[in-house]
Amino acid sequence: MNLPLSWDYLIPLTALTLVTAVGYYLIESGLISIAVGLSQRSSILMTWRMQFGWMALFYVTLCLIGLFMAIAIYDLKGVAGILIFALPVVLMHYVQRQYIERTRAGAREVERMNKELTQANRSILEASLQIEQLNDELFVTLAKIIDARDPQVLDHAAKVAEYSTLIAHNLKLPAGRIDKVRQAALLHDIGKIGISEQILKKPGSLSGLEYENVKAHAALGSDFLRASHGLRHLADFVRYHHERWDGAGYPDRLRGEQIPLEARIIAISDAVESMATKRPYHHAMDLAEIVEELARCAGSQFDPAIAEVFVRILRRDGEGIIGRHAN
């Protein structure tokens, strides 16, 4: 059927154009989808939907534009026809160039912003690491200040922190919780700041009243930490590090799992460090004596599960751990 290019036959021409556009679209997109699907061993229909499904309107629109331009050129011959044909092409070319240039400029701006963001993130990370290092150094320094008040416990807090961290690792606690155990261990005796130096430095045995005074350091240390927004999460671990598994400890006579796990870890680390160090009231125990004492006190003074873990650690690496610290 031959139809002249005229506005009088616009409806049948439009119908033929639509059929032609859809057919061309289906054939071209279908063949490409088949090739892609076979090469990538993927679903041909899924490939067509994802890659070409959205292009149907694009094909139809271009074909209709072509039809209208053909009719215009056919009806308006000469210069008018050329102008009508050329003007849309020129305008499309101009708009496309503007779009590409704006897109490139936008891409360059995004790239610049990404570089600045990367640099800012790097700077933030470096600052965060420096703050973390500073915080760690402050904990260690504060622990040394606390220990310095009592010449009988040189580097006591650092040793307790090392033992506690080792136990926490073997218990497979999360990294953040291990950090809290270490920090609390470094500060577990902070309450001794409020205890008289005369009592702390007394060479002989303490009287009953003096011992009660010393025992107050656990609750006092907890109160100190609760006064700090950044340290209050450690307060309970410090308060309860002298509680016993059997409930005979202080200050609140908690028992078993009523005592926070972190406090139970610090309690056994504190006791082992004391066993391994010569004090006015006892000699420095050797590794075998410490292991025997841990086994004896498991289930009474110490959490039996933690005692078992620490005994296993000491039997494996005890000479390197205790021997390095023994006084």
Name the residues annotated as catalytic.
Answer: 192
Residue 261 burial (CB < 10 Å; 0-12/13-18/19+)?
A: middle
The answer to whether the CB of 242 falls within 8 A of the CB of 221 is no
The answer to whether the CB of 188 falls within 8 A of the CB of 269 is no
The answer to whether the CB of 60 falls within 8 A of the CB of 21 is yes
- Estimate to the nearest angstrom the gap between the alpha carbon of 40 and the chain centroid: 37
- Cα distances (angstroms) measured from residue 103 to each of 88, 91, 98, 109, 116: 22, 18, 8, 10, 20
Residue indicated by tokens 């990294």: 175
Query: What would the DSSP string read from start to end of 37-82?
Result: HHHHT--HHHHHHHHTGGGHHHHHHHHHHHHHHHHHHHHS-THHHH
d(CA 12, CA 110): 49
Residue 239 burial (CB < 10 Å; 0-12/13-18/19+)?
A: buried
Provide the β-strand partners of residue 241: none
Structure tokens belonging to residue 98: 């503007």
Give every CB contact of residue 158 below 8 A, 6+ residues apart in sequence. Answer: 140, 143, 144, 147, 186
